[in-house]
Structure 1
């Protein structure tokens, strides 16, 4: 759609930064804490269905996210007021509240930005990719421009300027909220009429403009682990999980890319600062529970797309390295753990080493640890780029595979099937013990047993030697050290199936001291115990 030649778009122009205070009132105004500012900016943005990353970045460009200056009211030379630098607008704002009330000033900025988005609905401002999703940050390109002013100073085609307002905002989102924004097109092809900016089209296409907000999650939302780390520079294909909300605490787990999680708490703002404009959520997944920054979480919706399914593979070796042949040579820069990855059936991502062979046509995918025996996985390949043509894969290619059950045992009684799988029978110094177990009620009625409410309602694993428990260092569904002594009825519903996983290092821990120590497990015979209530599976193994 073309604009009529005589039509020049005129919009209310916001300020371009601030130049100092005029008519500043005497006083001692106190700036809110960073925690409180982030809480206000986030909640107000969500109220107006604006990605919080955008509102925070605008506040940063306008005022360094400061409502006051040296304890006095902030008013710029062109009349911009407060944190969001509010000037003349179509809204009847209370000027005194704009000056002194931080929340009121932020909400005024949100109202103005929301109005700029609605200009696209009315055909008075161009759209990016149809402007059909307010949660995709790049689709706010023109509303952000309009917040500051639709003028030639914000024209990316203008060679006389170093950087546009909207580009400043996007840079802050990338560098402080840590969301990867698609590279801005070199030319939009805007026009000029009598020195003023006008748009030759009302619809613009922007390839790969799909950066979803990571700060609008609610309790119960499904997400997956991902961040904007440059994997060609840093091998950080995981998100840090902490057991404490305070991010100065130690990292308790490195959660692999594409691990599926559920939001169970937050948002929290204790870790938000001027430079760290992310927020924090509490998350849970398979054997995962703790706190993670929003910059490590992406919405499941962003994974949508067509998938080309390859034939499934069965009885795959515990340590299988995949070699995938491509039909053309692949750009090495596109071969990384973001584009080639594996996920276990319970939603846990698998850390692997991904590489390209010298001929450029074969991709190697090597798991960093053995797969879990008897479990199902999916290998995904997406967004690879042809070395010759420079074009990207249009569809994701995926393949399901099931791992061999190298060493198994099972128990069937009371119409309940209890089965455990160990990755091998003999272990040496560099190995890891990996075990899975499933219990399924094949009967028509619930299976009921009595036990401890904290220890007998789930499958768990532990290791014994000569009838005594050996304190192997383990993660996952490892037996708790303390159990309540209450006796309650525990039910496994008819048709219900549960699965558990655990990994043990070949180290044992000395307990009962103030400073527990670990040492290599002694050579000898051991027994791994899988337990659910009164049902036990015993699996002997050897450490050499």
Structure 2
């Protein structure tokens, strides 16, 4: 009780004759937060920024976005006026800044006490929101009190569920932008978001249908279809920044928004990039740095923020920040960072906008041209994914391969540096190796039969495969000579055994004295003239590959 009396005393000092002891504890809880901004005098409007403070704290006391309450006050009193020429402003039905009707329990106080007027207006609005929670008004699916757009129908109900407030014109089904609630929402866009010349372009739109509304021409009451519509909005919903908490991350919502050294529009500033992230320190201020500024018509407030790296801090208008909710960068599919591809690639991403090599890129597009690419995808929260990739569909040059014989135990040659060289024998893969920076490659193999097929291919780092280089194993083995039979001075043939089908030549010195072939049974018989005893003869056997083997014999008696 003591604390309430203390508050009451303070407010009485502040507003003699206005509250006069009638202020409720509810009013005191929020109104005393604006005590330091000036005295409230009978039949006079408080300074503008003090009204800003009163509207803000009254809204927060009921968990209502202050932007909504300020938009209603602007619509109802054209500049947040409780009094005009010492009398409560009225439209003939309602009174004061919130145009509360004279059916209020204390109609005289509604007229003379701005704090009571605001409090009653906020209570009425809060009651209308309870209708939404009870499904008596349409709502946004899964949206809460903190979302400004979810107050569209409670704002309508504040003024009245009447045909003139139907967002769809009955006569032709077109959109009616002249409803009470649309005018309030336009006030929010203009004053809370500084969206001058952006009428109906900031807050998300409802997908209204003609049959969502039922018109009772007799009672002039606007009703809603059954069940009460629950809307899914495709546009981004706007969460009131006034619900931010100390330590919350916020993002800049306008390119070039000004970060100022003081909470006013005349202090030094630095421009900030769109989506830059700051940390809110838990305090917001009104424009009250000087007697001139305390009557500033700014309906926004100033949030004190610090950059995430701690290098900059200052005040930024509430119109240009929003809570940063998404810390997950866009997910890109179709390409991976630092990857290379040997085919066309089709790139998609789950959110945001993209630049490919600094040119606007549309998701789902296919990249076909060889080259190096940098893809930058940024979402609405400023989270960024950067992917660097290469497309290379050019095949490596055909490798070279040195001759391989049936005596060889290696396969050597040159290929594209760094490529993977694959070895196949008789079309069967054997092994692979990497070509050196010089291009040289080498395989160790077992000896292969002549005529065996040896082939190599080069595969580059992207997977492009060269044309194969193919060679046959060359026969380099001298033909076998199993035997040469004894030759006498009377012999007219030289006989023996050697490799089938080989050519046999008989030499005396360098002179050929006989020539023949080895039969299919491996035997040969070459005719010669008789030779003198002790003459040396050379028997030369030459296979089809040109390999030669020789044996020397001596003619005996």
Task: Using structure 1 for the length normalisation, give the TM-score.
Answer: 0.50
8 Å Cα contact 1:226/1:238 also seen in 2: no
8 Å Cα contact 2:49/2:297 also seen in 1: no
Partner residue of 1:204 out of 220, 225, 230:
230
Aligned to 2:141: 129
What stretches of structure 2 of length at least 5 have no aligned partner? 1-40, 196-201, 288-292, 340-344, 368-373, 389-557
1:50 and 1:254 map into 2 onto residues whose CA distance is 31
| CA 1:73–1:113: 2 relative to 1, 3 Å | same
The answer on 1:33 being equivalent to 2:47 is yes
2:207 and 2:327 map into 1 onto residues whose CA distance is 24
The 3-state SS of whatever aligns with 1:215 is helix
| CA 1:242–1:81: 2 relative to 1, 3 Å | same
Task: Using structure 2 for the length normalisation, give the TM-score.
Answer: 0.49
What stretches of structure 1 of length at least 5 have no aligned partner? 1-26, 228-236, 316-323, 329-337, 343-351, 364-376, 384-394, 403-544
8 Å Cα contact 1:215/1:279 also seen in 2: no
1:88 and 1:221 map into 2 onto residues whose CA distance is 42
The answer on 1:296 being equivalent to 2:320 is yes
Deviation, structure 1 residue 274: 7.3
Deviations 1:37-95 (A, max 9, x none): 110111111111111110000000001111111222223312x0110000156xx6422
Deviation, structure 1 residue 191: 1.2
Deviations 1:424-467 (A, max 9, x none): xxxxxxxxxxxxxxxxxxxxxxxxxxxxxxxxxxxxxxxxxxxx
| CA 1:175–1:94: 2 relative to 1, 3 Å | same
Deviations 1:352-372 (A, max 9, x none): 996527999599xxxxxxxxx
Deviations 1:348-389 (A, max 9, x none): xxxx996527999599xxxxxxxxxxxxx9954447xxxxxx
8 Å Cα contact 2:156/2:165 also seen in 1: yes
Deviations 1:234-286 (A, max 9, x none): xxx232111122221232x2222222211125321116877532110111012
8 Å Cα contact 2:138/2:230 also seen in 1: yes
Deviations 1:488-508 (A, max 9, x none): xxxxxxxxxxxxxxxxxxxxx
Aligned to 2:112: 100
Aligned to 2:438: none
8 Å Cα contact 1:45/1:55 also seen in 2: yes
8 Å Cα contact 2:165/2:179 also seen in 1: yes
Deviation, structure 1 residue 185: 3.3
Q: Which of 1 and 2 has greater Rg?
A: 2
The answer on 1:68 being equivalent to 2:91 is no
Aligned to 1:145: 156
The answer on 1:54 being equivalent to 2:49 is no
1:356 and 1:327 map into 2 onto residues whose CA distance is 14
| CA 1:362–1:134: 2 relative to 1, 3 Å | farther
8 Å Cα contact 2:98/2:117 also seen in 1: yes
Deviation, structure 1 residue 102: 1.2
| CA 1:159–1:209: 2 relative to 1, 3 Å | farther
2:358 and 2:170 map into 1 onto residues whose CA distance is 41
Aligned to 2:250: 223
**Which fold has the larger relative contact order, with Cα–Cα distance below 8 Å and residues 6 or more apart in sequence?**
1
| CA 1:118–1:309: 2 relative to 1, 3 Å | same
